[in-house]
Amino acid sequence: MSIFYCSILTFICLLILNCISAVICQNFIKNTYRTKKLYSFNLGLVIFNTFIINIICTLFLLSIMPSYEIACIITIVCYFVFFIISYLKFLVLKEPIVYSDFALIKEMFISPRLYFAYVPIFAWIFIAFLILVFFYILYRLPFSYIDFYDRLIYLLFSIVLLIITNKFLLNKKLSYNSLIDGASISPLFAFCIQLKEFFYAKRFIKKYGVEQYLNLDVINENSLKNLKQNNISNKDYEDKNQTLNNLFTANNKFKNVILVQGESFCNLTRLGFSKYARDFSKDSKFKHLGLLDIDYLGAYTMRSEFSVLTGLTREKLKIFSYDPYLLARNYKLNSLANFYREQGYKTICIHANSKKFFARDRVLHNLGFDCFIAKENMPNLCKNGHNVSDFELFKYVKTLLNNDEKMFIFVITMEAHGPWSCNGDEIIKDNLVNDDLIKIDKKSHFKLKDYSTHIHSMCMGLEYLSNNLENSCILMYGDHLPSINGVLKSKALLKPDIYVYKEDLKDSSVNSEHNFTTLVTPSSLNLNLKV
């Protein structure tokens, strides 16, 4: 097989995979976001970029592989691996692969159950089958030697084309929403542009500092060349991005301020699943405050966590919006914890997971917390399912409160983290129906039952804590919605819920009625906690 036919074959495979992955993203946006603004697929751009990327990859592999055929097979396999991983991620998290997923490789080994348990059995079988096919084809392919000078020419051509591609083709502005980018230019080319912007951003921050980066509208080659050190002062950064005055406002009335990030928490009644709901009772001290205007799809705890603590938007974070902890692990950033420290509070973060997970031991220190208590540092608390019981966790929080010291405590719960059990012995109909007359499958039924059990544990723990506090307030929000198909079919607004407890409920800022439509941005939560 000649190099021409090898290239044609890889080009066709790559183009088909690009188009399929983009259509998957488009259909999900159409069916779940329910938006009139659909993101059209730029087929011409994808075909052209596919052709260029294919040539670069093929030429590079020809410079290091023993034959044309093997270079062709390796190229196709690499494409398939990328798109398979992207699709598996989409099945679970409803997001295609992004550049920051490279950083997740370490996290997968720290907490493998949180990742690999979501992958269905058929996917593992399919992956094993592809691996066997790959090695069989390699075994059967003829081996032919490529001349050294030919290899050198292929390598030089691939480098030149890569430079040209980087200069002229990878300049499309990202939306920093991987679904939207994947729908318009396909996940592969969105991924390439992300990588380019990430390296530009790292160079920019190293040269000009993180404050200037957070105030820059666009990060590109021109901004690296033209921005001067003193164009944006630290004062500008403080005025625009600090959270001292635009997040929670505390004063001496509250001795203890407790912020809770409820793992995968949402109000099932609001979503039309009242028969599963086991959250706060009607006579609870916790009142529904609104919906957190933040990404609602699953397993992006650190995005919500960072956004609430800092008030920084996706637009400000730019390429770091996919994983803001890649930024926070290396740089000190202003946050809610800094504000409370200046008000004389001791700042503590508690999370019932490994301190190394997402480098929280470094991140939370850089975000201004005096102390980070991770799973390794707390007593051996009882589990409910696979994770530490939220009820036990809040009992532990109570033991940390000091009568002589003001405290700001940020609690990140863990119990309701998936995967949830989808097995049960009860006899049910093939098609279950929620309150909105939307059919859900058996797996969603059992997952919702399991999920609601863990949510009940968290809510009861919060009730226990509120009954044992004085002169305190508690605010709890969900980091994202659970990745359960039934939930995503709801006709309700798909955003996490916010609940608040304050001892003085006569405060006009806390509405005692359910408010299921009001969107609250992370940077405006303070408006509901002023006294």
- Alpha helix positions (H), 29-67: 43-62
Q: Classify burial at 464, counting beta carbons within 10 Å of its beta carbon; exposed 0-12, middle 13-18, buried 19 or more.
A: middle
Write out the two tokens for 233.
């002062």
Residue 419 is classified by DSSP as P
Can you give the pLDDT at residue 233? Answer: 39
- Does residue 111 contact residue 358 with C-beta atoms inside 8 Å? no
User: Percent of the chain having pLDDT more than 90?
Assistant: 19
Smallest CA-to-CA distance from 65 within 9, 3, 5 is with: 3
State the pTM of this model: 0.81
Positive or negative torsion for Cα 371, 374, 377, 378: positive
All residues at 6 or more sequence positions from 471 whose CB lies less than 8 Å from its CB, including other chains = 253, 254, 255, 256, 503
pLDDT at 158 > cutoff 70:
yes
- Exposure of 7 by Cβ count < 10 A (0-12 exposed, 13-18 middle, 19+ buried)? buried
Of residues 86 and 509, more confidence is placed in 86
Q: pLDDT-based confidence at 141, cuts 50/70/90?
A: low
CB 309 within 8 A of CB 410: yes
DSSP-H helix ranges across 335-441: 336-342, 360-366, 390-400
Instruction: Tell me the two tokens of residue 145.
Output: 């030697």
* Cβ-Cβ contacts under 8 Å for 216 (sequence gap 6 or more): 204, 223, 227, 232, 318
Which is nearest to 154 in space by CA: 75, 66, 56? Answer: 56
CA angle 337–341–344, rounded 5-degree value: 145
Query: Mean pLDDT over residues 338-347, rounded?
Result: 88
Cβ–Cβ under 8 Å, residues 515 and 289: yes
Class for the domain spanning 242-528: alpha beta
Res 334: pLDDT: 86
When pLDDT is cut at 50, 70 and 90, the band that residue 57 belongs to is confident
Region 38-59 average pLDDT: 75
pLDDT of 289 strictly over 80: yes
Angle between helices 3-28 and 187-208 (to 10 degrees): 80
Q: What is the mean pLDDT of residues 509-518?
A: 55
Report residue 320's pLDDT band, with 50, 70 and 90 as the boundaries: very high
| Confidence tier at 509 by pLDDT (50, 70, 90) | very low
pLDDT in tens, 206-226: 888 888 888 766 555 554 455
In this structure, what DSSP letter does residue 358 have?
G
pLDDT band at 39 (very low <50, low <70, confident <90, very high): low
Query: Taking 50 as the threshold, does the pLDDT of residue 235 lie above it?
Result: no
Residue 308 pLDDT > 60: yes
Burial class for 448, CB neighbours closer than 10 Å (0-12, 13-18, 19+): buried
Query: With 60 as the cut, is the pLDDT of residue 357 above it?
Result: yes
Evaluate if residue 508 carries a pLDDT over 80.
Answer: no
**In 3D, which of 142, 133, 122 has the Cα closest to residue 66?**
142
Q: Which residue has the tokens 């006569």?
A: 506
Q: What confidence category does residue 373 fall into, taking pLDDT thresholds of 50, 70 and 90? A: very high
CATH 3.40.720.10 residue window(s) in the chain: 242-528
Model pLDDT for residues 182-198, shown as the tens digit of each residue: 988 889 889 988 988 99
Q: Can you tell me the mean pLDDT for 128-141? A: 77
